[in-house]
Amino acid sequence: MKKSFKEKRKETAKRLGIKPEQIPHHIAIIMDGNGRWAKKKAMPRVVGHRQGAKILEEISVYCVDLGIEYLTLYSFSTENWKRPKAEIKALMYIHTRYLIGIRNTLMKCNVKLVHLGQSAQLPEKLKTALAETMKLTAGNDGMTLALALNYGGRDEIINATKKIAQEYKNGKLRLKNIDENCFAQHLYTADMIEPDFLIRTANEMRISNFLLWQTSYAEFYVTKTLWPDFNKTSVDKAILVYAKRTRHFGTVRKTKK
């Protein structure tokens, strides 16, 4: 019998010594450090990317076990096209193989794959692999794995603005109905809850154009660990840090009298 999110979160909380409500529902991760990992080992950058893909699958499965409802992974940004052509070609191939190779795991773990970003610019083989994997897992009702592939936060906001403007022009949307909820429904993440926890590896202190709208009130956690070295213990450590946070959403912190 498959365990519910509630059951998994209760078990995770007991193991970590925290309360179920102290576990994030949606974790977003900026996976950084593949190139540096490879360089430290005197290997080509592509080796780091291959190892990063393996870790991606391991962490995804672990988050299923933890009872995480949404996991969003930043795998390729709109700015990454500026990298050397050989590296881009390798990354596209790695993504294609990953999307094909992970299908059995996604089905076994009842995970639904969704894509955040633009697909038009992607190679045909990658687009096909992405579309087929999303179609295969569309009926799964466990964790949602969102792959931010060819994604840019500014681009997403611009696209949402254009959609709203067109709907207004066509008379499908009234000015008074344009609010935060309306805007959110025009983003790639329309069917997802906003991330409550954002993790960045490799000790980089920037958001890198990732989920600019959605992470307005997310808790940030930065670790020196390079993505290929990130593991289950790293996830547990991050969640324990999150559990100590008190989220205020813009309100004044209450003090004891």
Known catalytic residues are 32, 80
Instruction: Answer left, alpha or beta for residue 42, where phi above 0 means left and psi between -120 and 50 means alpha.
Output: left
In angstroms, the CA 61 to CA 192 distance is 19
Per the DSSP assignment, residues forming a β-bridge with 151 are 77
In terms of Cα–Cα distance, which of 14, 49, 88, 18 is closest to 227?
A: 49
Listed residue (60, 157, 164, 153) closest to 114, CA to CA: 60
Query: Which residues lie below 8 Å from residue 104, measured CB to CB, with a gap of 6+?
Result: none
| Sequential DSSP letters for 29-94 | EE---HHHHHHHTT--HHHHHHHHHHHHHHHHHHHHHHT-SEEEEEEEEGGGGGS-HHHHHHHHHH
Partners of 30 in beta bridges: 74, 200
